[in-house]
Amino acid sequence: MLKSFIDVDEESHFPIQNLPYGIFRPKGKTAPRAGVAIGDWILDLSILDDKGYFNETGAGGKRVFSEPSLNAFMNLGPNVWAEVRTVLQDLLREDNPEIRDQADLRDSLFSRQSGVDMLMPVEIRDYTDFYASEQHATNVGTMFRGRENALMPNWKHLPVGYHGRASSIIVSGTEIKRPLGQRKTEGDQPEFGPSMRLDFELEMGLVIGHGNESGSRIPVEEAEEHIFGLVLVNDWSARDIQAWEYQPLGPFLSKSFATSISPWIVPMAALEPFRTAGPKQDPEPLPYLKGSGDQTFDIHLEAHLKIPGLSEPVVVTETNFRTLYWSMAQQIAHHTVNGCNLNAGDLLASGTISGDEKTSRGCMLERTWRGEEPLQLPNGEKRVWLEDGDELRLTGWCQADGYRVGFGQVNSRILPTQVEETKGGSRDAVLSEKG
């Protein structure tokens, strides 16, 4: 098994087999730069580049690792990503003295992850959120339309999705302010105020590394070559705002206030050993959606809730990426079948990932069945929706024999809405606007 001269714990998410990319700022320095995670450390790629270690690759001399995002590196394409990864794995292996035995170089290259700020890894261009989990779509459909009509007639023919908001995508650690908006009531009039039904959605997102020309399509068989890597995604959702606004054009302000992602992008090459088959698709998809071979990955996923007054977080959800009905390749093929162009930096999220068990449902809406089955917490409290001060953390990893390829975590705390912010938006004001 490949090993690094850097000590890496067996349960670490970041062995030499992973090497995810991120953008970080060392404490006391101002310029963000690119790095890869290895064990508890970050290897500074901008310094490696300055010293000429990438000169034999397509990234040499372009200073792409001194940029405040990975977009320029991603735009160089999959051959260059592979060349850089080969250089990195070679430099970090335990039997290579090049960095290992040069103490000064080594000191300049590595920072402790605990001592740096992790920033947004990419400049997000566009954001699409799919709805690819059959269990999630079925559960939500059952709650709102009954079991008979749970899945819409189109659902097994195309990967359903909506266009989300790129400007409010934020990196792990950024706090979330509870959104204000028009909430659905029992009647046909809304009320205005802070969302009372704030929810998370456990998702994964793929980052497009290089796109396609407007008017062209990406064939399903080539789709994965366009993916730079994967991140964890929390698609924060205000269910009471969503319930009032979503018809007829889908989610809008109930989602656009914030979407959190993990800071490390795990490259597709690191996931290859965990490739596996997805669920059988019936009916057979149309030819443009028909891939061959195994199209998904075995990624264990968890959601943890930490509430004020509880010392340990509670595991809310345990699920797996492999349960998704529609593969990433199918999502990309469908997204571009009309000639829509994708760009480096586009984020395509999976939709909530729910499994067959109650404990594998990927959001509070499903987990508590719209509040009918509140979560019982160890301190006697119950939770239906997220409350101010709660922290929600998503994590996930692929388990191999003796090592893990992990995604780290995406973690955020809910802040209250300030009372004065609700002024000027009283119920009366809303109703008079409607005339």
Question: Is residue 235 part of the contact set for Mn ion (CB under 5 A)?
Answer: yes
| C-beta pairs of 222-227 under 8 Å, 24+ apart in sequence | 223/291, 223/328, 223/329, 223/330, 223/331, 223/332, 223/333, 224/268, 224/328, 224/329, 224/332, 225/78, 226/332, 226/342, 227/268, 227/328, 227/332
Positions in 167-206 near Mn ion (CB under 5 A): 201
**How are beta strands 347-349 and 21-26 bridged, if at all?**
unpaired
Beta carbon nearer to Mn ion, 201 or 240:
201
Residue 148, C-beta contacts closer than 8 angstroms, at least 6 positions apart: none
Positions in 199-228 near Mn ion (CB under 5 A): 201
Question: Is residue 49 part of the contact set for Mn ion (CB under 5 A)?
Answer: no
Question: DSSP assignment of 3-69, as one string?
Answer: -BSS---TT-S--TTT--EEEEEETT----EEEEEETTEEEEHHHHHHTTTTTTSTTTTS-GGGSSS
> Nearest distance from residue 235's CB to Mn ion, in Å?
3
> Nearest distance from residue 201's CB to Mn ion, in Å?
4
Catalytic residue chosen out of the listed positions 13, 136, 210, 334 = 136
Which one of 105-113, 181-189, 229-237, 298-306 is the stretch in contact with Mn ion (CB under 5 A)?
Answer: 229-237
Handedness of CA 16, 85, 262, 352 (dihedral sign): negative
For Mn ion, how many residues bind (rule: CB under 5 A)? 3
Question: Is residue 366 part of the contact set for Mn ion (CB under 5 A)?
Answer: no
Q: Closest Cα to residue 286, out of 323, 223, 324, 330?
A: 330
> Nearest distance from residue 107's CB to Mn ion, in Å?
43
Report the alpha-carbon distance of residue 236 to residue 363 in Å, rounded. 10
> Nearest distance from residue 160's CB to Mn ion, in Å?
11
Structure tokens at 58: 């397509």
Half-sphere exposure of 58 (CA within 13 A, CB side): 13
What residue number has its CB nearest to Mn ion? 235
Positions in 85-144 near Mn ion (CB under 5 A): 129
Give yes or no: 226 in active site: no
**How are beta strands 404-415 and 391-399 bridged, if at all?**
antiparallel
Q: Closest Cα to residue 411, out of 312, 300, 306?
A: 306
Q: Closest Cα to residue 129, out of 41, 242, 212?
A: 242
> Nearest distance from residue 129's CB to Mn ion, in Å?
5
Beta carbon nearer to Mn ion, 99 or 176:
176
Report the alpha-carbon distance of residue 406 to residue 19 in Å, rounded. 10
Dihedral Cα 291, 297, 302, 303, nearest 10 deg: -30
Beta carbon nearer to Mn ion, 250 or 425:
250
> Nearest distance from residue 10's CB to Mn ion, in Å?
33
Report the alpha-carbon distance of residue 175 to residue 392 in Å, rounded. 10
Longest dimension (CA), the chain: 75
> Nearest distance from residue 363's CB to Mn ion, in Å?
8
Beta carbon nearer to Mn ion, 129 or 366:
129
Q: Which residues bind Mn ion (CB under 5 A)?
A: 129, 201, 235
Residues with a known catalytic role: 136
